[in-house]
Amino acid sequence: MTNDQLASLFEEMADLLELSGENAFRIRAYRSGAAAIQTLSQPIEELIAQDFDLTSIDGIGATLAQKSIIAIQTGEIPALEKLRAQVPSSLRKVMQVPGLGAKKAMKLHQELGVMDLESLKQVCLDGKVAKLKGFGEKTQQSILENIEIVAQAAVRMRRDEADALRAKLQEHFSNCPAIQKMEFAGSYRRGKETIGDLDILVVSNSPEQVMDRFGQYPELTELLARGDTKMSIRISGSFQVDLRVVDPSCWGAALQYFTGSKEHNVHVRSLAKSLGLKISEYGVFRELDQNQPIAGHDEASLYEAIGLPWIPPELRENRFEFQKDFAQRLHDLIELSDIRGDLHMHTLYTDGSHSVEQMAQAAIDRGLQYIAITDHSKRVSVARGLDEQKVLEQWAHIDRIRKQFQDRLLLLKGIECDILEDGSLDLSDQCLAQADWVTASVHFGFKQSKQEITDRILGAIAHRSVHSISHPSGRLLSRRVAYDYDLTAVIQAAQEHDKCLEINANPHRLDLNDLQAAAAAQAGVTLVINTDAHSIDNLDLMRHGVQVARRAGIIKNQVLNTKTSKQLLGWLKKHKSPSD
């Protein structure tokens, strides 16, 4: 049993205990234990075999330690089996529907016989939920709208989840000598925000050995198909991973073909046909001689054969990669190495995990030139948001420590200021005027009308102290849809006031998304890519935001935090109101 599999059992325990009405302390203990096991660098099986004291691991008490040993030795946890018999496991999906939770999910089960998402949808369509005490018409409609979010989450992975899976698969294949070359293709390689399956392409002279190794993957739950050079499995119950073994001579053609997108490949093949060529996953051929490939051993040769430069996978969506100005755009396309700062992060002052000094040092370690500390304002009470007195105390603290970083890092006093439901900002003008950087966000009032939410954002953009709008749509991937607002009006206002719109790099957000970011950049809006880091490790999420920007075709000079420290200070000075 792997660490992830054991952690999954404890997560299921926590969910079923919550559905059973168990006390919060016990539920939290199982969730903490699951998190602790997932972050172990050594397999828990090995630790148990060595008689290691599991209770020495932060987050694992005596009860969880004992259950871990039982699970490793027997493959199951008796207490979990008992819970499964008492509470349908399928209700876990029901409780994940935004707006429900454990208590309402159990009430729906007990009073309406709801067992899963399908039966939940049916009782909503029948109007039965609206008649239940504590629900009503609005709740019923909201449930119907949110069921699809949970259903999609069950079959699609976020970028960070896909990255973790890729790392596990690479590790699993690392000791397979039959593999000469391996790459992950499909929508994962193109950098899409979620993926529905994972494609692995391998060069090997011994396909049988490679597929045998694939079949030994610890999290395999079902073998879907196995042929001479192709094999498909399911892992974690539903997610599909496909493996293809190809000849070295057609590696590039196969990689290009299985990377996609379908629309991009159709255009590529159309161009080839106009030149008297034919492209398949086996290579590039002359139409009159389809026995001998003239290109395709690598991707560059395939594109060169039809008169194109090599096209980065993120841009293969048949949007602008075939336009006349693409060569210049490709030359200036943003890269992770272009990022010089991060202007959205949180510390121990609110809901972050590290101090200002620790975040600053972590930024230096990553080669950044500047950061802005942007803890929450008071409206976000769940995150211990700061009132004006505490904001000023934090800024005074930053002023005091700036000297110790001044030769290595520009440390900016910032705030993530809430845009309140009435359109005002969460802190006074006098307070905000003292900040080096202000990013404004909507965290509440998502059910307001489209016009109301749009007006709130437009008002913040027009405010003299605001520099940026963070995670402009408010969405959370697989958990919450975007609020209804007029993006076109927001883009226009940002352009007119010369304010930034954020690409939030957290893989739960990726907001703006690629299409929205492309529209903003085309309108002349300056973008800023931030991690919204709540810990040191979160600073490494920047790559996800850059990938969104690359998919949008964003070039370096369209992003504020590609500027040097000196250039950024010049930009901030230009945006400082004379009356401040």
At residue 75, the pLDDT reads 86
Is the domain of 270 the same as that of 193? no
Domains held by the chain: number = 4
At residue 92, the pLDDT reads 76
Is the domain of 450 the same as that of 528? yes
Quick one: tokens of 29? 């203990």
* DSSP string covering 405-469: HTTT-EEEEEEEEEB-TTS-BSS-HHHHTT-SEEEEE--S-TTS-HHHHHHHHHHHHHSTT--EE
Would residue 407 count as lying in a domain? yes
Would residue 388 count as lying in a domain? yes
At residue 578, the pLDDT reads 58
Is the domain of 189 the same as that of 216? yes
At residue 154, the pLDDT reads 62
Is the domain of 484 the same as that of 424? yes
Is the domain of 319 the same as that of 369? no
- DSSP character for 480? B
Is the domain of 124 the same as that of 66? yes
Would residue 371 count as lying in a domain? yes
d(CA 461, CA 500) in angstroms, rounded, equals 9
The predicted-structure confidence for 404-436, as pLDDT tens digits, reads as follows 998 999 999 999 999 999 999 999 999 999 999
Would residue 266 count as lying in a domain? yes
Q: Which domain holds residue 168?
A: 157-246
At residue 579, the pLDDT reads 54
Q: At what angle do helices 542-551 and 159-173 cross, to 10 degrees?
A: 110
Would residue 562 count as lying in a domain? yes
Is the domain of 145 the same as that of 174? no
Residues of the chain with pLDDT under 50: none
Beta-carbon-side half-sphere exposure of residue 163 (alpha carbons within 13 Å): 11
The predicted-structure confidence for 335-374, as pLDDT tens digits, reads as follows 999 999 999 999 999 999 899 999 999 999 999 999 999 9
Would residue 10 count as lying in a domain? yes
